[in-house]
A and B are shown apart, each in its own frame.
Chain A
């Protein structure tokens, strides 16, 4: 039975509004960013085509280099810790126990809290005078209180900590979905064969969980590349440029300084870097997954 032309039109009409929105407000802007990055900075009659001039400038820009390194460090540390914590959370809330729904809800709360709120919260927790962290660590010994956000390393750690607290539960959900598709019988068989809990985890759960872990790794990597809110609120990129991530640098160049050409060059480069890292993960981790079928 072939469809009438009228029905075909209906089919397309159904996807049309959604695709139009995405085309106008995501796809076109992304392409336009690339075009804008090839022109000189300020719009107006003096605007001229500079080719890849801004990209050459980016290669020489020490602030941009620093921002890329900070971003990469943030991506690596936060995703690694979130995978670890997320797997732990998933293993716990996958178990059957009374009140599991409440525990799942409690674990989800950091994910639901607005990032800006979570940022202000950690900024206050880490406050050098009134913060709870110093009080817990040092109690009455006020002289020992540490100004966490004034030191480059601990400030970087603070950004990572806030992100791990906020997003581990999301990673946990993705891992949980992976756990739920592992058939119960696999474990029964292993138990009959006398496998310990650790052996069952190591040789059944972990291999079967790899696709879910890869998905979580990809999602988190892509998302960690866009970190902005945490940095804006907690450190403003400081102290110095120690926590200035690339999205924050791009934001300042583009909107505070109004350098359209160079700002879009930074943003296009972020995009390309992110795409390369994602592809790398899919190619290396992903193809290993396909080759080594879990027993």
Chain B
């Protein structure tokens, strides 16, 4: 299709452009303080781990990691529990107005966060959810549900309907048909939806900043954004913390690249 040299150039440009900026941050995280402050900058690090030690122990990074795992993990589980039956019903059952529901969900997913931020904050204040993890999980579930429902609906659509009809003839109820027949078959879709929900919740910053003001409870993005040194910008520590916050995501992308690509384009193309 494309000329070989052009293709090769394109590949090189895409890969280097995508990776080099972050690689420099990775290199920075292994430098020493003297190297970070060198002008002009030194490229190769000493391989020192001082910034990791300082980020982990002085800045208590593990705290933030644990908070992020709790919040992103619970949001993913709850979003999937709510999204799965909804997607099944929207893909398979004769609900009146289901195209409206799907369209409405897509619209809701487009709301700018600032539009809902004020009232969400007030609701959480009344419920006592400010500065708690569950108070952040609730809006995360609501914000990730539309995408999860869309991905799962497209997945359920593609499964052969005969299997399910057979199950219904054998006397399965709607719930049994979903959990015994469809769910195992839709496992790849569930997995994709779970990964995308998790990445969203792991990376989200705006609501986390509003809802969690107590450093004890803050998630990684808030911790990294508000990273303060005593006298100077602690670039080395920020780089180390960034690498730690990003590592799980890079592993997810390397392992599940195909599923992620399919899931992201599910809502957009296969209507």
Contacts of A254 in B (CB 8 A): 114, 117-118
Instruction: Give the contacting residue for B242; candidates A27, A120, A266; CB below 8 A.
Output: A120
Q: How far is the CA of A132 from the CA of B22 in the complex (A)?
A: 11
Q: Which residues of B contact A10 (CB under 8 A)?
A: 173-175
Q: Is the interface of B mostly helix, strand, loop or mixed?
A: helix
Is B111 an interface residue when CB atoms closer than 8 A count as contact?
yes
The answer to whether residues A114 and B11 also contact, given A22-B108, A33-B116, A95-B2 and a CB cut-off of 8 A, is no
Shortest distance in angstroms between B200's beta carbon and chain A's nearest beta carbon?
10
For window 92-134 of chain A, which residues contact chain B by CB distance below 8 Å?
A: 92-93, 95, 97, 101, 103-110, 112-117, 119-122, 124-125, 127, 129-132, 134
User: Is B113 a contact of A114 with CB atoms below 8 Å?
Assistant: no
Distance between Cα atoms of A115 and B222 in the complex (Å): 11
Q: Cα distance A10–B95 when bound, in Å?
A: 11
Is the pair A124, B238 in contact by a Cβ cutoff of 8 Å? yes
B82 near A106 (CB under 8 angstroms)? no
Which residues from 200 to 232 on chain A have a C-beta closer than 8 Å to any C-beta of chain B? Answer: 212, 215-216, 219, 222, 225-226, 228-229, 232
Distance in Å: Cβ of A268 to nearest Cβ of chain B: 7
CA A268 – CA B116 in complex, angstroms? 9
**Surface stretch bound by A, among B50-58, B184-192, B258-266:** B258-266
B19 contacts A106, C-beta separation under 8 Å: yes
Is A158 engaged at the interface, CB distance under 8 Å to the other chain? no
A110 CB contacts on chain B under 8 angstroms: 18, 22
- The distance in angstroms between the C-alpha atoms of A120 and B55, with both chains bound, is 15
The stretch among A76-84, A174-182, A285-293 that forms the contact with chain B is: A174-182
Given contacts A33-B115, A268-B115, contact A26 B249 (CB under 8 A): no
> Would B116 and A11 count as touching, CB distance under 8 A?
no
**Quick check: A264 and B118 within 8 Å, CB to CB?**
yes
B238–A114 CB distance below 8 A: no
- Contacting residues, chain A, for B227 (C-beta < 8 A): 120
Interface-side segment among A13-21, A46-54, A148-156: A13-21
Query: Are A228 and B113 interface neighbours, CB within 8 A?
Result: yes
Interface size class of A (residues with CB under 8 A): 35 or more
| CB under 8 Å from chain B, chain A span 16-75 | 17-19, 21-22, 24-30, 32-33, 36
Given A10-B174, A104-B261, answer yes or no on A26-B116 (Cβ-Cβ < 8 Å): yes
A105 touches B269 (CB 8 A): no
Interface status of B105 (Cβ within 8 A of chain A): yes
From known contacts A121-B21, A130-B39, infer whether A255 and B257 are also in contact, taking CB-CB under 8 Å: no
Contact of B115 with A14 in the complex, beta carbons under 8 Å: no
Q: B82–A21 contact, CB under 8 A?
A: yes
With contacts A113-B246, A120-B242, A121-B242 taken as known, whether A33 is within 8 angstroms of B118 at the C-beta atoms is: yes
CB-contact partner of B257 in A104, A129, A251, under 8 A: A104
Contact of A25 among B86, B139, B235 (CB under 8 A): B139
Judged by a CB distance under 8 angstroms, whether B183 is at the interface is no
Kindly state whether residue B159 has any CB partner on chain A within 8 Å.
no
What residues on A are CB-neighbors of B146 within 8 Å? 22
The 3 closest A-B pairs by CB, nearest first: A25-B142, A29-B119, A177-B265
List chain A positions with a Cβ less than 8 A from chain B. Answer: 3, 7, 10-15, 17-19, 21-22, 24-30, 32-33, 36, 88-89, 91-93, 95, 97, 101, 103-110, 112-117, 119-122, 124-125, 127, 129-132, 134-135, 139-140, 142, 165, 169-170, 173-174, 176-178, 181, 187, 197, 212, 215-216, 219, 222, 225-226, 228-229, 232-233, 247, 250-251, 254-255, 260, 263-264, 266-268, 270-271, 274, 278
10 chain-A/chain-B pairs, Cβ below 8 angstroms: A11-B174, A14-B178, A18-B149, A25-B142, A95-B7, A106-B14, A109-B19, A130-B39, A173-B265, A226-B112
